[in-house]
Each structure stands twice: as structure tokens, then as C-alpha cells.
Chain A
Amino acid sequence: MNIFRLCGDMTHLLSVVVLLLKIHTIKSCAGISLKTQELYALVFATRYLDIFTHHVSLYNTVMKIIFLGTSFTIVWYMRHHKVVRQTYDKEQDTFKHYMLIIPCFALALLIKTKFTPLEVLWTFSIYLEAVAIFPQLVLLQRTKNIDNLTGNYVFLLGAYRGLYLLNWIVRYFTEKGYRQWITWISGIVQTALYADFFYYYIKCWRNNEKLHLPS
């Protein structure tokens, strides 16, 4: 495992910590898209089906359990916690799940490495993760006052994807025969979706302004 992969995973973990801090400590999920969080829970549930059948490493297993557990916890908080759920911007978070799920599933049936349930669902999760941030980006654009935790959460998620790109470049040059086109192309698409957000995040940070996106 190279440094970029480790930093990517840690950034991903940190993004979850930031989000849980906002939800659990401040008891608010204002500006957070439940649609995106539900899509992430689906991503992890379909990707980590191999958790008990194929052992990669203790590190991988522990991280998988953490991502599965936290993603479902976040969804539970936003849907059922009596204080947190009242801070959810339901009227603004209008993106439809099926508009992302159906095309991703169709694509996974068409473009995959093997036609087995585990492989198709794994491929589906890769495609879905690439676009799962979409409802969150739409909600951010509609939010007038984006708080620091929400802005930092999305920034950390984008940084995690950027670090994975660097990890793939290192792996390509150091591991013989290492290629994974499905993951690479999806990863590039996923990172590109953050480009606009990054631009405004850095611009506002440099000007010492509160984060706001042009609508």
C-alpha cells in the first residue's frame, strides 16, 4: 500500500468523522443531502459483499466495517433521530435516487469484468460511487449559508478521490500488469465532479470569505 492510498483512505475516514461530528455533536444535518448518504450506504452494501468470503487484509476488513457502519448510522440519524431529522433540508434535497441507480445498474450489466452477482454488484457500486455526490452538490448550490463543517466534509471527500488517482498512478508504474479500467475511468469522472466545488472552495478560502457557490 502506497502513501497516497493510505492518505486517501484517511481523508475518507476524516470526512466521515467531520460529518458525524456535525450530526452527533451539533445535532444538525443542515446542508447535508440524505439522497447522497443513502446512495453511499448502497455503494458500501453492494461493494463489500465480499467482506466475509474473500480476505484481503485486516486493514481492509476493519475499514469496510467502519464505512458500512457509519454510512448506515448517518442515514439512521437523518431519517429517525428526533432532533437531527428536523434540521434536514427536505424541500431542497429533491434529486431522485433512481435517476442515478438505474443507469449505473444498466451500465454494470453492460460493462463489467465477469457476469457473476458479486462482480456485477461490485461494478455497480463503483459506477454509483462516482455519481453519488451529485445530490449533495445540487443541495450545496441551493444552500445560502454553507457552514464550515459541510464545506470541509465535501472538500475531504473530493480530496480522497484525488489521492486515489495519485495512488493508481503509483501502482501503474510499480506493479507489473496492474490495470483496472473500470475503476480508473469511474474515479476520473468522480474526481472531475468536484472540480467546480474545489475552485470555489479555494477561492473563498483565499479571500477569507464564507463558502458560497454561484447558483
Chain B
Amino acid sequence: TMFVRRHDEL
């Protein structure tokens, strides 16, 4: 989930 949160912008 950390990965997804840090890369949730385009």
C-alpha cells in the first residue's frame, strides 16, 4: 500500500 500511495498521481 505504501507504493500505491506514493505513486497515486499521474
Chain A: residues with CB nearer than 8 A to chain B?
5, 9, 12, 50, 54-57, 60, 63-64, 67, 113, 122, 164, 167, 180, 183
Q: From residue B3, how far is it (CB to closest CB) to chain A in Å?
A: 6
A60:B6 contact, CB within 8 angstroms: no
B10:A180 contact, CB within 8 angstroms: no
- Given A54-B4, A55-B4: A183 and B10 interface contact (C-beta under 8 Å): no
Please list 10 pairs of residues, one from A and one from B, whose beta carbons are closer than 8 Å in the complex, sorted by A's number: A50-B3, A50-B7, A54-B4, A54-B7, A55-B4, A60-B8, A60-B10, A63-B10, A164-B9, A180-B6
A residues near B6, Cβ cutoff 8 Å? 113, 180
Chain B: residues with CB nearer than 8 A to chain A?
3-4, 6-10
Interface of B is mostly: loop
For residue B7, which residue of chain A has the nearest CB?
A50
Q: How far is the CA of A138 from the CA of B5 in the complex (A)?
A: 36
Q: From residue A132, how far is it (CB to closest CB) to chain B in Å?
A: 15
A64:B7 contact, CB within 8 angstroms: no
Q: From residue A169, how far is it (CB to closest CB) to chain B in Å?
A: 14
Q: From residue B10, how far is it (CB to closest CB) to chain A in Å?
A: 5
A54:B3 contact, CB within 8 angstroms: yes
B residues near A113, Cβ cutoff 8 Å? 6
Q: How far is the CA of A50 from the CA of B10 in the complex (A)?
A: 11
B residues near A183, Cβ cutoff 8 Å? 9
Q: From residue A58, how far is it (CB to closest CB) to chain B in Å?
A: 13
A12:B7 contact, CB within 8 angstroms: no
A residues near B7, Cβ cutoff 8 Å? 50, 54, 56, 122
